[in-house]
Structure 1
C-alpha cells in the first residue's frame, strides 16, 4: 500500500511547514485587517455622472503614444473605445477604468456601457495624434561622491523619504520624514524642513521648524507646483494634502483619498502630464505581488485608480506582505520616462517581525533602487527579475531617492536617506550626489 505524502514526511518537517503557513496567515491578517479600500472614496459614486459631463475625454500625447482619460464608475459601467476609419466607427476594446493607452492616433470616442443593460452613453469624442519620432534611451548614473544635504537635530534625528522643491522666492526647501528616534516608523508624525539659497548648498541646508503635525503618521511628503499654488501630499493608507501660495506656510489640511484602491498605499508622488492632468504613483500590493499603482486626477482633488504603472510577477525576488516596491519617483528626461523605486522588504512574514526589533539581515538590500523606463508615464511593464525585465534600465545604490534638476545650472542630482539603524550609506542625513544621463540608443 502506498503511503500518503504526509505519511512519508518526517513529523518535524510537517510541524515546521504547518507553523510557517500559520504564521504567514496570521501576520497577513494582522497587517491587512485594519486597512480599508474603496475605489469611490475620493469621488463618490453619486457624483460621477456630473463629473463625467464636466471632464468628458481628455488626451495627452508623447512620442509614439496617446492616452485618453475620463471619470469612471467601474462597478456600474464598462467603457467601449471606438476609432473612426473612413465613415465608420470600429470597435477597439473595452476597458474597466478611466484610461486608454495606445500607439495609434485618430478620432476616438468613449462610450459608457451600463452593466444593468441601459443604453450606451457617450462620454466624449476626441481627435488626437502622437508626437513623431522615438524618444532616446538613457541610463542614469551616480556620477560623484555623496555629501550631506541635511541632518536634522531639532525636529528629529534622521530623514527618510523626502521631497525637494524651489519655493516662490527661489529658496530651495527639503521636507522629510523624521522622529526623535533611530527609525521608529510609528513615531513619524511630522516633517523636518531644511532650506538653502543655493542648490546644492556648499555646507548643507539650514534646519527650520517642522510642519504637518496632525497627530497621525506622516510619511513620504511630495510637493508640486500648479497654477502658482504649491500642493503637499503625504500618506500612509490615505492621501493627505495641504496647499501654500509660497511653499512655506501650509494651510487647508484635508484627506483627498480616504481609502485607496489597494492596501499598503504609501509613498505618493505626483506628476503633471498635461494641462489639468496629473498622475499619482504609489506603493501598493495586489493579491500577492508588489506593484506601483497609478491614480488620475483632473483637478488635484478627486483621484481615481486607473491601473498599475509597474507590476511584478513570478521571478521577482521580493514580495513582502506590505509590498517591496517603495518610494516611486517618475522623471521625464528628453521625452522618455524613468521610474525609480527602492526594492526592499523580503518576502514572507519574518522580515516585518524582525524589523520591529531593528534586525535587517541583508543591509545592502536597503539601498537597492531599480530604474525602469518607458516611452510613456502610464506603463513601465512587468518586473520578473533582474534578467527577465526588458524595461529595467539599471540598479542604483541609494534609498528612497529624489531625482532633482536645477534649471539654473542645468545639472541633475540624486539623493539618498534612511533610518540610521538600517542605512549603510548615511547615518541619519539626506545625502546628495551628481547624476549623469548616459546615452544608450
Structure 2
C-alpha cells in the first residue's frame, strides 16, 4: 500500500481514539497573602464557530478546504490559501491550492483564481498544507509537495510579492523527511526562524511526532529535532497533524489534531516552545486543521476539512476569561492620557486634566468616538488601567494626594462612581497575573507598595510594603513563564523584582538592574517570541535591555539612541512587532522592530503633555496626546502600516 493511502487509513483509525484530559495543580508557597494554589494549565477553548467561507459557491458540486493558512497584506486585505478538492475527499488528487480574499477576517470572502498547481517537474504528486509568512517585501509559502517515496516527502517553498503570482524555489525542495513529513508551520522565535511539522520518529514509521528545524534565512534549514512525541505509532499520518505553536496568556501553546475525533484539536501548554509533553494538556478545541490567527486585538481559531462545507471561525480563549491580549494588560507605564480596550473591543480614552478626569469612548469597535465628558476624580491625575478576567475595566487615578479607582459595572457597560483607593503616589501601574488577578503597584516617599485581587474579578487586599527605592518610576512586564517582573527606577538606578512563580509569591527583595544617567522614564514590552524588552529614557537618549528569548538571560544596558530626557512607551503592531515611542516637551519620535532588528528613529510629532496608546479591533494602533489646546490623535491607516497625520480630537486643554 502506498504512503498516501496509508495516510487516509491511519486518519480514520485516529478518529476512534479518545484523549483523556487530566487536571494538574501546582502548590506554591504563599507570600504577601496571595493564593497558595493555582491551576498549572489554564484551560484553552473556543466559543461557537461561525461559517466563514464555502468554496462550493459557483461550482457544480460541493468542494472542501482542508489545511489552510491566513495572512493580511499591507493594504489590510486578508488572504486565505488551502488544500481544496471536490467532494468526496481524495487526498491523492489534491493538486491545487485555493485562494480567497476578504476586507476583514470575518469576511465577506471572495474566491480568487487558484494560487498554485502541482508541478510534476518538481516531483510533486499533490499539494498539501500551505503556510504563508511575510519577511521583508516577500511572502513565503511553505508546503508539502509529496513525491513517489513517502519516506522522503518534500517540504517546498514558493515566493510572491503580491500574494497572487507564486514562483517555486529554483533549487527544488528545501528538504525531504519522512514518514510523510507535512503540515509545515513557520514562526520567528528569538533570532531564528522555526519550522514545525508533523512526521514520524523514523522515516519508515515509529511514534508520531512534531519535528522542527531552524533557519536564519528561510532557505537553509538545520537537521530535525523533536518538540513533541506521541505514544501512538505507525507509518504516515497520525494525531500530530497541523502543528501550530503560538504564545498567549503567559505560555507557549501547541495545537495538534486530529485528537478525540476528526474535528478535534488538543492544546498543550509549555514555558519552552521546543518541548511539549502529554502531561501539559491545557485544552481542547472542536476543530480540524486548526489555524490560530490574530487580528491585532483578538485571537481566533479556524476549522475546515472533508465534508465541513468550507472554513469556520471562532474566538479563541487562552484561559483567564478572554482571548484578547489580556497577558499584555497593564505593561505600559502610567501617564496623564490613557487608552484602554474593553472586552467588546471598543477603546476608551481618559485624560487627567487640570480640573478632573475626562473621558470618551468608541461607539463601535474601531469606529467613531463619543464626545468628551468630565467624570470627576483627582486633578492633573496620572492614570493607569487593567482589565479583569471577566472583561470589566478598572481605572486608577493618582492626584490631589490620593489614588482613586473606578470600575465598570459590567463588561463593556457603564461605570461605578470613583472610590478612594489609597494615598497619593509618585507613580503607579497595573499588572495582570497569569491567573487573571489584577495587581497595582505605587511608589511613594518610603518605596513601592502594592495591592492585589485575592481572586480573579474579586476583592482587593490592603496595601502592603513591596520594597524598592523611594519615589520610583515603575514599569511591569510578564515573562514567557507567566511571572510578573517589576522595574523600579530612581536617582539613575534601576532595580528589579519578579515573581518566584506565576500568580504566586515574589523573590525576597529588589535586585540592582543597572544605572542610567539622568534617568527620566522606563517601559517594558514583550516581543512576539516571548522575550521581554526594557527601555529607559535618560540624559544621553534611550537605553535598552533585552531578554535572550522567552524567559531568557538579560543583555547589559545598551545605547538605543533617540531624544534625551524622554518618556518611553511600547506599542504592539498587529503583526506582533513592537513599536517604541519616546516623547519630550519638544518632540515625539518612534522606531519599530524591522525583521530581527529595529528601524531608525523617525519624527512622530511635537511635544505632548501626556500620551496614550491603544489598539483597535482591526489591529490598527491609535495615539492620543495632550496639549494646552486640547488633545490630538494619530492612527495607523492599515494594521502594522503607516500613520495618519495629527488631527485635533477635542477634549480638555492640559498643562
Q: TM-score, normalised by structure 2?
A: 0.39
Q: Distance in 1 between matches of 2:167 and 2:5?
A: 35
SS in 2 for 1:305: coil
Task: Name 1:434's counterpart in structure 2.
Answer: 315
Q: Please give the alpha-carbon distance, in whole angstroms, between the structure 2 residues aligned to 1:147 and 1:153.
A: 13
2:65 pairs, out of 140, 144, 159, with 159
Higher helix share: 1
Would you say the 8 A contact 2:3–2:180 is kept in 1?
no
Contact 1:137 1:336 in 2 (8 A): no
Aligned to 2:304: 417
Taking the aligned partners of 2:274 and 2:65, their CA distance within structure 1 comes to: 30
| Structure 2 SS opposite 1:390 | helix
Checking the alignment, whether the CA contact within 8 Å between 2:44 and 2:284 is kept in structure 1 is: no
Deviation at 1:268, TM superposition (A): 0.7
Equivalent residues of 1:192, 1:210 under 8 A apart: yes
Q: Does 1:228 align with 2:146?
A: no
Q: Check if 1:205 corresponds to 2:104.
A: no
Q: 2:267 aligns with which of 351, 368, 371?
A: 371
Compared CA separation, residues 246 and 280, structure 1 to 2 (3 A): same
Larger RCO: Structure 1 or Structure 2 (Cα < 8 Å, ≥ 6 residues apart)?
Answer: 1
Contact 2:51/2:313 (<8 A) preserved: yes
Match of 2:282 in 1: 393
- Contact 1:283/1:328, CA 8 A, preserved across alignment: yes
Query: Cα 1:139–1:249, aligned 2, differ >3 Å: closer, same or farther?
Result: farther
Give the Å deviation of 1:187: 1.0
SS at match of 1:238: strand
- Structure exhibiting the larger radius of gyration computed from Cα positions: 2
1:264 Cα deviation after fit: 1.5
Task: Say if 1:297 and 1:168 are closer, same or farther in 2 by CA, change over 3 A.
Answer: same
Q: Does 1:247 align with 2:163?
A: yes
Q: Alignment partner for residue 341 of structure 1, among 256, 261, 277?
A: 256
Distance 1:28 1:171, change over 3 A: closer
1:289: which partner in 2? 207
Pairing 1:37-436 to 2, within 5 Å after superposition:
138-153=42-57, 157-201=63-107, 204-215=108-119, 216-235=125-144, 236=146, 237-254=153-170, 255-260=172-177, 262-275=178-191, 277-286=192-201, 287-313=205-231, 318-324=232-238, 325-343=240-258, 365-381=261-277, 389-407=278-296, 410-420=297-307, 426=308, 428-436=309-317
The CA RMSD measured in Å over matched residues stands at: 2.8
Q: Secondary structure at the match of 2:92?
A: helix
Structure 1 residue 312, shift from structure 2 partner: 1.9
CA shift at 1:145, angstroms?
A: 3.5
Distance in 2 of aligned mates of 1:323 and 1:211:
25
1:360-417 CA distances to partner (integer Å, 9 max, x unpaired)?
Answer: xxxx711121111111211113xxxxxxx3211112111011111101xx01211111
**How many equivalent residue pairs?**
273
TM-superposed CA distance for 1:137, in Å, is: 5.4
Unaligned runs of 5+ in 2: 8-39, 120-124, 147-152, 321-433, 436-655
The CA distance in 2 between the partners of 1:366 and 1:31, in whole Å, is: 16
Q: Is the 8 A contact 2:49 2:312 kept in 1?
A: no
CA displacement at 1:148 relative to structure 2: 2.8
Name the SS for the 2:105 alignment partner: coil
Q: Is the 8 A contact 2:4 2:92 kept in 1?
A: no
1:278: Cα distance to partner?
A: 0.7
- Structure 2 CA distance, aligned partners of 1:257 and 1:177? 20
Q: CA offset at residue 159 of structure 1?
A: 0.2
CA–CA distance in 1 between the matches of 2:5 and 2:135?
39
Q: Which moved more, 1:180-189 or 1:246-255?
A: 246-255
Give the deviation of 1:256 after TM superposition.
3.4
